[in-house]
Chains A and B, each alone.
Chain A
Amino acid sequence: MFFHIVLERNMQLHPRHFGRNLRENLVSKLMKDVEGTCSGRHGFVVAITGIENVGKGLIRDGTGFVTFPVKYQCVVFRPFKGEILEAAVTMVNKMGFFAETGPVQIFVSNHLIPDDMEFQSGDMPNYTTSDGSVKIQKDSEVRLKIIGTRVDATEIFCIGTIKDDFLGVINDPTTA
C-alpha cells in the first residue's frame, strides 16, 4: 500500500557545494541518497514529494563537512500482512509462483494455491484447474493476500496466498 509520510534525515554536505545553490544541492543529494531505498519500517521510498524543513547546519569538528537535518515528505510503498494486492505473475514453478507488485516481489507457495489447481510443466508452466477454466501463468494478474513480509537491505519480499474467498486470477493473458 502507498503511504505519504514525513521523514527526517541528517544530510552531510561537502563545502564545495556551499554557495548560492546550497539548498538545491542539498535537495538533489537527498534525492540521490533516499529515493529508491528500502527500509523495514517504511518500505520503499518511491519518490520525494517535498521538503518540509531544512534545519540549521552544524559544522563537524575536524572536517569541513556540515550536517543539515532535513525533514521531507515522500511517498513510500510498504506491503502489510493482511493486505489485498493485485500482482502480475513473473514466474511459475512446481513450488508455487512469483508475482510482482510495484517494487515488491511476492511468492505464493503451492500450499497456498487452491487444491483444485495443478501444476502443468512445459514451455509455459502454469497452474490450471481440473476443468481447465482457470489458469495461472506468466503475466496473469492475480489478486492475493499478503501473509508475511521480509525486508533486506534493498528489497522487500512477501509471501502471499490465493487460497481464500475472492482471491485468485483476475486476468488471463491468453484470453485478453
Chain B
Amino acid sequence: MSEKGGRMFSLPTKTTPKSSLKSTAGKYDNSAKSKRGRKVQFGTEGSPDVNFSSPKSDGKFATPFGKGGKGEKAANGGKTHVAKESLSLELRVEQELPENIKCLMDCEAATILEGIQDQMVILSSDPTIKLPESFGSGLQYAKTGSYFTNPQSVRKVLQSLTKYGVSNSEICVIANTCPETVDEVFALVRSLEAKRSKITGPLKDVLDELAKLKTST
C-alpha cells in the first residue's frame, strides 16, 4: 500500500519489498543503537518506529527476511536476528518484563479493580486515602473494554492455546480484542503468524467458544 512520506514502512504484507527496508535502515541506525526497548520509541513525524527497540538488534538489518517476513514469534526470547527483522511490531511483553509478572485480561482487571473500589467504600472513613485519577480511568477502560463477564471461563478456554506455544500476553490480546475470525487474530497478533498452520484449527474452536461467552450488549 502506498503511504505518505517516502520513508514510511508499509505495514507487513507478503509483498513488502525488502529493498525498502534496507534503504531506510541506515537512516535509523544511529538513533536505534543507543535506545533501549522500553524507554523511548518515538518515530519522527508519526512514522512507525519499527523494531528498533529490540535490545539485541543494535540496528543490524542486513540479514534477509524469513519467508513471509514475520520471523520468529516474539516469545522466543528474541535471541535471533530474525525476530527483530519483522516489521510487524510484535508483542514482546515477555521479553521486556521480568518473569513474575502476570498479564491480565481486561475482564480480570475489571473484576479486581471493582473489588478494590468496593473496599474503598469501607476504608473511606479515612479522608486522606483517595483513589488516584488513574484508578478511575483504568477501571472505566477495563469495564468498557471487556466483552466478557466471567473471566475464569474465558481464561479456561484460552488456556488450551498455551500448549501450542501461545504466550500469556498473546492470549490476553486475543481476549481483549475478542476477534471474530481467525484471520483477524493473525492480523492483530502478528507474532502468531509463525505458528499459523499449527493453531488455526484450535484457534477457530476457541473463537467459537468465546463468541458464546461474549455478553450481548
Contact = CB atoms under 8 A, between A and B. Distances in A.
A6 interface: yes
Contact of B93 (A80, A103, A147): A80
B72 interface: no
Contacts of B46: 96, 107-112, 159
- Binding site secondary structure of chain A: strand
A150 B138 contact: no
Interface stretch (B63-71, B108-116, B201-209): B108-116
Contacts of B45: 109, 111
Contact of A82 (B89, B101, B103, B145): B89
Interface in A96-116: 96, 100-103, 107-112, 115
Contacts of A151: 39-40
Contacts of B104: 1-4, 75
A171 to B, nearest CB: 10
Contacts of A96: 46
B188 A103 contact: no
B141 A102 contact: yes
A82 B109 CA distance: 20
A58 interface: no
Given A1-B93, A75-B112, A164 B4 contact: no
Q: Which of A80, A143, A159 has the most CB of B within 10 A?
A: A80
B128 interface: yes
Which 4 pairs show the lowest CB-CB distances between chains A and B?
A: A109-B46, A36-B132, A148-B41, A2-B109
5 contacts: A2-B142, A40-B38, A82-B90, A84-B173, A151-B40
Interface of A: 1-6, 28, 31-32, 35-36, 38, 40-41, 44-47, 49, 75, 77, 80-86, 96, 100-103, 107-112, 115, 143, 145-151, 159, 161, 163-166
